[in-house]
Structure 1
Amino acid sequence: MISDPLILSIAIIFIMFVFLLSSIWIGISLILTGFVGMLIFDSNLPDSISIFDKIGDLLASSMYDSLNSWSLAALPMFILMGEILYKSSISTKLLNGLMPWLNFVPGKLLHINVAACSLFAAVSGSSAATTATVGKITLEELKKRGYSKALALGSLAGSGTLGFLIPPSLIMIIYGVLSDVSIGKLFMAGIIPGILLATLYSIYIIVVSKINKEVVPNDEKKYKFKDYINSIKELFPILALIVIVLGSIYGGIATPTEAASLGVLGSIFLAVYFKSFSLEIFRIALLNTIKTSTMISFIIVGAGFLSQVIGFLGIARAISEYIGSLGLTPMMLILIIGIMYILLGMILDGISIVVMTLPIVLPIIVMAGFDPLWFGIFLVFMVELSQITPPVGFSLFVIQGISGEKIEYILKATLPFFILTILAVIIITYFPQIVQFLPNYMIK
């Protein structure tokens, strides 16, 4: 039996990784970790209460508390909206509409991954859906036109993660529910950092295309005035859907959950309007939404139980006091936490990272004087990095499935965009006003 919280925390972390590396479902791994943690703790419970009774109470209460949230209802709605857009021809129209406008920019159509992912992220909320949808359309087209394969793959990997940063974002919803931070404010806080990251990607493409002329073909299609008019027709429905979903939230007309429902209705309407909607498409979208939502909910339940166990055992308080005794500066603390998240991204998916670490990390962050709203965006950046960090970077596998390229080649192509994402993290850390400006300006 162990009574020292610091020793117990090390033991629990070790146990958790043993379960996770044994290929057990993440939700079950988290529950088993909490279960074992309770069993090895010298709890000194009254004789009238057994340790199993206490475990049962914690598990029951955590299941209810974790999922009893109206804000969490937005999660399946945004997933369904992204699925409908992904399965219909709307995403193709988005790409066709962007092509004429990017033709005059250095790097030309290489920017299409950045622009298309940014726009699709604003109506999807899912990094996987954004990467898969845009990649299936752009990679083959860029290859046919003679663009650099490495730059096309790297820009898709980096830009695909914008699905987590540009609202609506599934990670932001989960973070907001678990940390009790306004989801509407999180959505606002992610806009400028999202634009910043997309801009860094585009600047890199421009610089590379200027240095190496071979990454862009010489012969390009010349667009006429009518092509630009037609492209506006292609883009207008998507832009209208973005305005409806995000405008209803920022204008105070609807909650994120209500806006997500509007997004689902809007995506169905657009699919019907463009004659790309069918009952089979809707059935597949519903089925994928149920699978994804259930998976996420199971992980949240497991993380909720582990969070309650950590609180009961006094681990969070002990770790906070220990780190406080080290006398670390706030910047050193955030550096250590950032490195920890990058390492975790090598073996865990983004959602798991958030729900597993938040109970321990958030109290430490608040104690160090960081704004929980700012930390939410910092954490989203860390999750983005986890999507393109080997060996479990989910976006890497999505791109491999689309392109058929070896994972080593994709990793090499993705590295510059990985570094640019870290640069964006450094910028928002030293200038937190980038994150806080819109929420503070728009909500008094």
Structure 2
Amino acid sequence: MESLYIAGGVLALIVFFLGLGVWVFAGLLLVSIAGLSLFIDMPLARIGTILGPIMIRSATGWELSAIPMFVWMGEIILRTDISTRLFKGLSPLTFHLPGRLLHTNIVGSAIFAAICGSSAATTATVGKITVPELDRRGYYSPLTYGSLAGAGSLGLLIPPSIIMIVYGVVAEVSISRLFAAGILPGLMIAGFYSLYVIAVSLLFPKVAPADTARPSAADMLRGVGNLLPIGLLITLVLGAIYSGIATPSETAAVGVGVTLIYTVVTGQMSGKVFMESLFASVHTSCMISAIMISAAFMSTAMGFMHVPQDISAAIGRFQLSPYELILVLTLLYIVLGMFLEGVSMTVMSLPITLPLVLAAGFDPIWFGIFLILMIELAQITPPIGFNLFILQDLTRTSITRIIFAASPFFLLMCLGVLCITLWPQIVLWLPDQLYSK
């Protein structure tokens, strides 16, 4: 019973420090130090000797080198014409689908996710092009905003994904297998979104006004031409990983090199673009590294306090079935997603949740995709849904209206979670095919 009081005390410390507005990495360190001092009377000198090696080990993992490379690639892409090319390329190709240009939000986000790895960047970059254009043409704005909110979150699920790398490092599973595991669920959820847009457009034709300018065959070819540079970059990055030619870290460096070459050849590179993208990637990468270091320390601290083992034992006494456990974890992550961003959710929760799901017989690769879907739900969940705030800034409309618009896509993503739970091979089939022994 005493151990459960310790777990409650640790939770109270987390709420206290994060509630004060302390930076996440600092809050996690303070929780760890305070917990070890208060609950098991560990001397500060002893805490220091534990913290040092953990910081070194957490900051020097070779797998982490992929994070700044993929982040830098995304920052360079944000400053190029790739999002404009996406819209120009997809517009004629989506003409014959019910909903027409609304599909550019969904397909464009899915494609951009495959070269970016960030949900916020995907939403912002695609939205800057599509939202003004769709509003100008008279498309139903809630469907415009909702489809972008939902599809923009695919930046976390469709590889390369920064969160996948973080999960792979913390959970000690293959990042290449995680990348492969995210493809089919990502395409499935994008398909759900497109089917929803088609259904609404067939029921209510006015949501997608008729476009009198029917694209010609030449327009179609120009559309394909606009998509070629993006397709080449995706092929190089993902092809190198799945063929085994390069590791994710090596492929990230190749992706940066190809992106730099593209910006130079197309005349979009300048000293300002280079330095802005470099500084932004350093800022983001340092933030992720700091959180991972502090979370690794907190994981060790909770191990000393026996928090994961005791919580696991307490939940075990309820004798939950595997599906009941997943339902409980789904509700837990939805609540966490209301207050935390993805990296923090991942590194704070895994010491407790990963042993539980492994004991219940779930594959760690499958759980990684499940967790990423939970983080995607958090992107469109108030009060701290980053995609919601990005859309509010882009559209200059009320956050209530954005939340209402995103609600159907939240439910569609929940349907995706249900599908991968009932049929885990949606996640596991592709990595098993690519990396079968």
Shift of 1:315: 1.1
Q: 1:204 aligns with which of 176, 196, 200?
A: 196
Query: For residues 198-277 of structure 1, what are the structure 2 equivalents within 5 Å?
Result: 198-277=190-269
Which letter maps to 2:180?
Answer: M
Partner of 1:409: 401
| TM-score in terms of structure 2 length | 0.98
Partner of 1:9: 7
Shift of 1:298: 1.0
Matches of 1:333 and 1:437 in 2, distance apart?
A: 23
Q: Is 2:368 the partner of 1:376? A: yes
Query: For residues 17-416 of structure 1, what are the structure 2 equivalents within 5 Å?
Result: 17-43=15-41, 51-416=43-408
Q: Which moved more, 1:61-70 or 1:328-337?
A: 61-70
8 A Cα contact 2:40 2:305, kept in partner = no
8 A Cα contact 1:128 1:160, kept in partner = yes
8 A Cα contact 1:88 1:281, kept in partner = no
Matches of 1:261 and 1:306 in 2, distance apart?
A: 31
Shift of 1:220: 3.7
Note the alpha carbon deviations across 1:21-63, whole angstroms, 9 max, x for none.
11110000000011111011235xxxxxx61122112221221
8 A Cα contact 1:89 1:274, kept in partner = no
* SS of structure 2 residue aligned to 1:108: coil
Change in Cα spacing, 1:69 to 1:220, as seen in structure 2 (3 Å) is farther
Which letter maps to 2:22?
Answer: I
Which letter maps to 2:415?
Answer: L
Aligned length: 436
Shift of 1:218: 2.0
Matches of 2:235 and 2:428 in 1, distance apart?
A: 22
Runs of 4+ more than 4 Å apart:
none
Matches of 2:137 and 2:276 in 1, distance apart?
A: 33
Matches of 2:159 and 2:88 in 1, distance apart?
A: 23
8 A Cα contact 1:90 1:274, kept in partner = no
8 A Cα contact 2:105 2:126, kept in partner = yes
| TM-score in terms of structure 1 length | 0.97
Matches of 2:251 and 2:169 in 1, distance apart?
A: 17
Shift of 1:411: 0.3
8 A Cα contact 2:379 2:385, kept in partner = yes
Note the alpha carbon deviations across 1:264-319, whole angstroms, 9 max, x for none.
11111111222222111111101110111111111111111100101111111111
CA-based RMSD: 1.0
Matches of 1:121 and 1:219 in 2, distance apart?
A: 28
Which letter maps to 2:430?
Answer: L
Matches of 2:433 and 2:34 in 1, distance apart?
A: 47
Q: Which moved more, 1:192-201 or 1:12-21?
A: 12-21
Which letter maps to 2:6?
Answer: L
* SS of structure 2 residue aligned to 1:435: helix
Which letter maps to 1:414?
Answer: A
Matches of 2:178 and 2:131 in 1, distance apart?
A: 32
Shift of 1:367: 0.9
Shift of 1:88: 1.1
Shift of 1:258: 0.6
8 A Cα contact 2:85 2:227, kept in partner = yes
